[in-house]
Amino acid sequence: MNLNPRILVRSVLGLAVLACAVGPALATNSEEDTLKRVQQSRYNFVTGVWQLRLNEEIRLVERGFKDFLPGLDYTLVDEKIKDEDRMSMTFRGMGDRKLVVKLRSQGQFTLISIRWGLTGSETKSAQIFSYVYRRM
């Protein structure tokens, strides 16, 4: 069986065009799913706390932070459980950076507060949440 090079090139280009057309649609569905679960997010410049409301159960979110933050070289050093609907976890990372994650259950939602370092960082807090959320 002898393949014509033109047909082969056209087939490969056709598959590439199809992949380019379908890829963004798949990414859009993933982003829409994320937007359905992340209801609100905001950063307080005064306190350095990045806060968001997630459409997940508090125990699932707690497990996610405990399981996946060691992948970013953060170690759980303190955990305070105020009651079944509120808790605080303190992690230490490279350079002895402190990361405080507070969780509060609000019905079907979980309110997450993240503060990275002494003064807080919106970018680092969002990156840490994104890392954990993608693995949950």
Q: Please write down the HEC assignment for all residues of the chain.
A: CCCCHHHHHHHHHHHHHHHHHHHHHHHHHHHHHHHHHEEEEEEECCCCEEEEEECCCHHHHHHHHHHHHHHHCCEEEEEEEEECCEEEEEEECHHHCEEEEEEEEECCEEEEEEEECCCCCHHHHHHHHHHHHHHC
**Does residue 20 fall inside a structural domain?**
no
Query: Going residue by residue through the chain (136 aa), what tens digit of pLDDT does each one get?
Result: 555 666 655 555 455 544 544 444 444 445 445 444 566 788 999 999 999 998 889 999 999 999 998 988 999 999 999 988 999 999 998 888 999 999 999 988 999 999 998 889 888 998 899 889 888 7
The pTM score is 0.70
User: For the chain, what is the domain count?
Assistant: 1
Full residue range of the structural domain in which residue 77 is found: 37-135
CATH number at residue 64: 3.30.310.80
